[in-house]
Amino acid sequence: MPQPEAAQHRSESKPRWTERLHGLGPVIGLVLLCIAGTLLNSDFATVDNAMNVLTRTAFIGIIAVGMCFVIISGGIDLSVGSMAALIAGSVIMFINWAGPASGSPLMAVVMGAVLAVVLGALFGLAHGLLITKGRIEPFIVTLGTLGIFRAYLTYFADGGALTLDNDLSDLYAPVYYASLAGIPVPVWVFVIVAIIGGVILNRTAYGRYVQAIGSNEQVARYAAVDVDRVKILTYVLLGVCVGIATLLYVPRLGSASPTTGLLWELEAIAAVIVGGTALKGGAGSITGTVVGAILLSVISNILNLTSIISVYLNAAVQGFVIIIVAFLQRGRR
C-alpha cells in the first residue's frame, strides 16, 4: 500500500477502533465488577444471586428500554417513577373493585394488567402532546407530572398505602414469583421487551427517524420526517414500558404507597447513559442500555453483600455514575 494511502487508512481506522472500544466499555465494566464481586464475597457468583439480580433489574431495565428511545430522540422523562406509582395504585384499586363486581377474580387481574399498559400509553401520549403541540420543554413537562402523579397516588391512598385483597394477591402472585425453565417471569419479559426494542430501533424506519431527530431535529424536518409524530410515539413507547414494568411490580408487594417507584427515573436514566447512549441524543443502543441496567444492579448487589459502604448511599453512587459518564461524554453528541 502506498504511504499516503496507508496514512489515510490509519487515520480512518483510528476513530473506528476508538468507537468500538467505547461501545465495549459497559461490557468490560460489567465483567470487572463481576470479578470484583466474586473476590469480595463467594455468595455473589451463585445462580440464586444471579437470578435475584436479574429479577430486580427487570423493572428498571424495561423502563430503561423506553427511556433509551426518548433520550436518543433528544428528550428526557423525569416522571417514570411517579407514573409507575400512580399506575400501580390505580391497578390495585381497579382489581379490588372488579374482582367482586365481575364475579371472576382471574378476569379482574387480567383486565388490571391491561389497564396498567393502557394507562402508561395514555400518560406517555399526554407527555408527547404537551411537548410537541404545546411546545414545552420535556424537562418542564415531566417535572410537573412527576409531582402530579405522586400527589394523586397519595390522595387516592389517603396518605397511606393501597393494598391488593389477599385472594386477588395470591392469584396475581405468579406474574412475579413464577419461573419458566428456571428463569423468573420478569426476566423473560425483560428479555422480550429488550429484543423488541432493539428490532424497532435498528430495523425499522421509525428507529432511524428517532436517531435522526436526536442527531439534528432541523435536518430531520427538512428530510420530511414527521418529527412531532415520532416524538409522540417515543413517549407513548416509554409509557407502555412503564406500564409493563408496573404490572410485573404490583404482585411483588401487592401494595402501592407514596414511596413506590421512588428514584426509578434516576436509575432508568443512569442505565441508559452508562450503556453508552449519548445524553444529547442521536446515538445509543438497547444492548448497551440492558448492560447498563445490569451493571447498576450489580453495583447495588455488591454493596449489599459486602457492606463496603452503607446501602443508603446506593442512590448517591448512581448519581456519581451519571455525572462521571456525562463528564466523559462531553465531546460526544
Task: Provide the residue-wise pLDDT of the chain in tens; the chain has 333 residues.
Answer: 444 444 444 544 455 555 555 667 778 888 888 888 888 888 888 899 999 999 989 999 999 999 999 999 999 999 999 999 999 999 999 999 998 888 888 999 999 999 999 999 999 999 999 999 999 999 999 999 999 999 999 999 998 899 998 888 888 999 999 999 989 999 999 999 999 999 999 999 999 999 999 999 999 999 889 999 999 999 999 999 999 999 999 998 888 998 998 889 988 998 998 888 887 888 889 999 999 999 888 888 888 887 777 777 777 876 777 777 767 766 555
Residue indicated by cell numbers 459502604: 309
Residues 167 and 173: their CA atoms lie apart, in Å, by 10
| Residue 158: other Cβ atoms inside 10 A | 8
Identify the pLDDT of residue 184. 94
What are the distances in angstroms from CA 92 to CA 148, 153, 167, 242, 267? 19, 11, 13, 16, 24
- pTM of structure: 0.89
Identify the pLDDT of residue 12. 47
Identify the pLDDT of residue 168. 87
Pair 333, 280: CB distance under 8 Å: yes
Identify the pLDDT of residue 11. 46
Beta bridge partners of 256: 162
Identify the pLDDT of residue 331. 58
Residues 72 and 213: their CA atoms lie apart, in Å, by 8
Identify the pLDDT of residue 21. 58
What is the torsion angle, in degrees rounded to the nearest 10, for the CA atoms of residue 93, residue 99, residue 100 and residue 104?
170
Residues 243 and 60: their CA atoms lie apart, in Å, by 12
Identify the pLDDT of residue 279. 79
Among 60, 68, 63, 69, which Cα is nearest to 234's? 69
Beta bridge partners of 179: 184
